[in-house]
């Protein structure tokens, strides 16, 4: 056999996979989840928990028959072979699995009532699926250290640990920081932060996600909420231009935690600690109110102010005295419609701002990038660039403001403080600010319109490598906050420009098809989330952006 792929049957279903694929991965390919603890698609194989044992029969070409298996073998270790037969739930396999469960539970404290993992714990799930037997143990269970802090963000409970070594493999092979190790032997073995070290890399929280039990839990989520009360919404982290795909766990009005979502080629399975803490920043955000400060026109509702802004934009059609600066937090759809509107009005002074710099972390070779803004690439690709002929870029716009040439300035989105100071802005006659964050300029701008944040609206962002990810609305927006895309539709109507899209969904479709647009809302790789328990099953399956 010299081909690069092999064909095998999993419970009678034939599946073709590349050579070298492990049986457990081939089974996933065939839509079959082989129960496992230590296996993780993002980590090297270890094969220590024995939960994935299956009846694996190899093909003997000389005898021209399948060799009966002498004993069940671990599906996460065995390579798929041509013509192999795998049975994942025969009575013998089930019995063997129940015994594995019994061993794993010998010293487990079963303190689910006070364990934060309860509800998304693989041990719980598999106990219900494969064991369901009472403990036969008569002796007292072995006691191990509990409540051991692993750095500031993780708490370790040795009694719950099943020694699967996922966490140590994560620090060894993913972050390559080698902080965690398993020490001692037999029933005294525990995970420890290795001598003299501190568990403080930028990705520590991932070990709590991949820990199949509640041995590693996050201090940030400790006792905050039982997981079955959480609602899950697919989202994207805006912490940097990596755009890690996430699940926002919330209760409708408040984000409780942010978890990574598998996305091949972007963040794979991981995300950083800073990205998880972004929800705190979001909760503390000072939100602006719709305001108009023009003599004779004070007050007004959001829609009347929108109309006023739209008409004002139309007044500056083909004018050199108007400029638009856009924050790199704009979504692709909004950027596309905004650049279309400005193109029709022939307002060419348009650019993307520097945006946020506060959260900037040093770029590393795992996930972090040095741009702490999500969508610079997407905004530029969607057309937020100065007009080719006469348009001014951000530096020229600043110079023009300095020279008093700009009369009308539209600021879209938050975080422009790094480019423009209030003093500079006071030289512009009319400043219109459309943003989700109240700041110094909101107190002086001629018009302010409140926008919804990333957690409160739908859209897509494109990361620095060109992968587009979709975020969805998780929270109820505060009263009055406007959806960016709807607002742009109204601006189009008020400025007398016919919008090319009827709705956000329509815009996304057009974005994909538009041959002139640089944005390709392409999803590469499948979204799968086999790692989490039933809670996350709704987020699995391929998702079109």
Partner 1 sequence: MGTQRGKNKGFENLVDGQVLPQPAYQGEFTEGEIVQYYNPESMTWAERIYLPYVLAGLGLTAKVFLRNMVTWFVWLTYWVRGKGAEAKRGATTIYYPHEMRPDFSPVNRGKHILTMRDNDDPQCVACYMCATACPAFCIHIVAGEHPDPAIEKYPVRFDIEIDKCIFCGYCEEACPVDAIRLTTDVHLVDYKRERMVYDREYLLTWKPTYVEEEHVYPGDRPRKS
- To the nearest 10 degrees (0 to 180), the angle between helices 332-345 and 484-495 is 10
**Is residue 516 classed exposed, middle or buried when 0-12, 13-18 and 19+ CB atoms within 10 A define those classes?**
exposed
What does the per-residue mask of binding to ligand FES show for 42-81, with x meaning CB under 6 A? -----xxxxxx---------------------x-x-----
Parallel/antiparallel/unpaired status of strands 13-18 and 5-10: antiparallel
CB nearer ligand SF4, residue 55 or residue 205:
205
Task: Give the one entry of ligand SF4, partner 1, ligand FES, none that residue 50 binds, where binding means its C-beta sits below a cut-off of 5 to 8 angstroms depending on kind.
Answer: ligand FES
What does the per-residue mask of binding to ligand SF4 show for 308-337, with x meaning CB under 6 A? ------------------------------
Three-state DSSP class for 522? Answer: coil
What does the per-residue mask of binding to ligand SF4 show for 336-375, with x meaning CB under 6 A? -------------------------------xx-------
Task: Give the one entry of ligand SF4, ligand FES, partner 1, none that residue 52 binds, where binding means its C-beta sits below a cut-off of 5 to 8 angstroms depending on kind.
Answer: ligand FES
Name the DSSP class of 113.
G
Q: Does 126 bind ligand FES (CB under 6 A)?
A: no
Q: How many residues does the chain have?
A: 545
Parallel/antiparallel/unpaired status of strands 85-87 and 59-60: unpaired
- Interface positions with partner 1 (CB under 8 A): 112-114, 118, 146-147, 222-224, 226, 228-229
For 474-518, the DSSP string reads -SPPPTTPBPHHHHHHHHHHHHT---S-SSHHHHHHHHHH-TT-S
8 Å CB contact between 529 and 262: yes
Token pair listed for 311: 């008409």
Give the number of other CB atoms < 10 A from CB of residue 231: 12
Stretch that binds ligand SF4, among 5-13, 237-245, 294-302, 464-472 (CB under 6 A): 237-245
* Contacts of residue 9, Cβ cutoff 8 Å, sequence gap at least 6: 15, 84, 85, 86
Task: Give the one entry of ligand FES, ligand SF4, partner 1, none that residue 272 binds, where binding means its C-beta sits below a cut-off of 5 to 8 angstroms depending on kind.
Answer: ligand SF4
CB nearer ligand FES, residue 52 or residue 208:
52
Interface of this chain with ligand SF4, residues 125 to 164, rule: CB under 6 A: 161-164
For 443-460, the DSSP string reads GT-SEEEEB--TTTS-EE
What does the per-residue mask of binding to ligand SF4 show for 203-222, with x meaning CB under 6 A? --------xxx-xx------
What does the per-residue mask of binding to ligand SF4 show for 246-285, with x meaning CB under 6 A? ---------------------x---xx-xx----------
Binding site for ligand FES (CB under 6 A): 36-39, 47-52, 74, 76
| Interface residue list for ligand SF4 (CB under 6 A) | 161-167, 191, 211-213, 215-216, 237, 239-240, 242-244, 267, 271-272, 274-275, 367-368
């Amino acid at each position: 056999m010299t081909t690069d792929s092999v064909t095998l049957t999993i419970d009678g279903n034939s599946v073709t996979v590349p050579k070298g694929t492990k049986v457990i991965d081939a089974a996933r390919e065939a839509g079959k989840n082989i129960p496992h603890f230590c296996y993780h698609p993002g980590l090297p194989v270890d094969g220590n928990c024995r939960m994935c044992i299956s009846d694996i029969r190899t093909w003997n070409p000389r005898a021209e028959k399948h060799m009966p298996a002498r004993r069940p073998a671990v599906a996460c270790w065995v390579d798929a072979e041509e013509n192999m037969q795998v049975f994942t739930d025969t009575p013998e396999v089930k019995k063997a699995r129940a015994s594995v469960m019994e061993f794993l539970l010998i010293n487990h404290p079963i303190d689910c009532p006070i364990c934060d993992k309860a509800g998304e714990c693989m041990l719980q799930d598999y106990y219900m699926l494969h064991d369901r037997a009472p403990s036969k143990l008569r002796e007292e269970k072995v006691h191990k250290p509990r409540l051991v802090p692993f750095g500031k963000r993780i708490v370790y409970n040795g009694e719950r640990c099943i020694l699967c070594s996922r966490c140590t493999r994560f620090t060894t092979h993913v972050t390559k920081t080698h902080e965690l190790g398993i020490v001692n032997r037999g029933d005294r073995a525990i995970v420890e932060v290795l001598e003299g070290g501190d568990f403080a890399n930028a990705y520590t929280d991932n070990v709590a996600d991949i820990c199949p039990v509640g041995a590693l839990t996050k201090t940030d989520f400790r006792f905050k909420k039982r997981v079955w009360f959480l609602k899950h919404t697919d989202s994207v982290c805006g912490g940097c231009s990596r755009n890690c795909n996430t699940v926002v766990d919330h209760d409708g009005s408040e984000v409780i935690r942010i978890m990574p979502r598998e996305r091949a080629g972007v963040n794979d399975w991981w995300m950083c600690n800073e990205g998880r803490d972004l929800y705190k920043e979001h909760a503390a955000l000072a939100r602006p109110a719709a305001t108009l400060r023009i003599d004779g026109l004070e007050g007004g509702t959001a829609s009347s102010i929108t109309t006023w802004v739209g008409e004002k934009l139309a007044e500056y059609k083909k004018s050199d005295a108007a400029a638009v600066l856009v924050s790199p937090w704009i979504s692709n759809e909004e950027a596309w419609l905004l650049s279309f509107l400005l193109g029709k009005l022939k307002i060419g002074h348009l650019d993307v701002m520097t945006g946020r710099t506060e959260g900037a972390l040093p770029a590393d070779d795992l996930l972090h990038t040095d741009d702490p803004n999500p969508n610079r690439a997407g905004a530029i690709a969607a057309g937020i660039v100065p007009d080719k002929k006469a348009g001014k870029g951000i530096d020229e716009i600043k110079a023009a403001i300095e020279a008093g040439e700009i009369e009308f300035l539209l600021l879209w989105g938050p975080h422009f403080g790094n480019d423009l100071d209030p003093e500079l802005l006071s030289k512009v006659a009319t400043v219109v600010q459309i943003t989700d964050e109240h700041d110094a300029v909101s107190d002086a701008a001629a018009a302010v319109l409140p926008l919804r944040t990333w957690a409160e609206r739908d859209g897509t962002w494109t990361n620095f490598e060109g992968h587009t990810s979709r975020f969805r609305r998780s929270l109820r927006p505060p009263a009055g906050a406007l959806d960016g895309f709807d607002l742009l539709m109204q601006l189009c109507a008020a400025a007398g420009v016919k919008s090319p899209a009827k709705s956000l969904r329509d815009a996304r479709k057009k974005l994909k098809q538009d041959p002139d647009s640089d944005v390709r809302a392409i999803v590469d790789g499948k979204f799968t989330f086999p790692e989490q328990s039933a809670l996350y099953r709704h987020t699995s399956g391929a998702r079109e952006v």
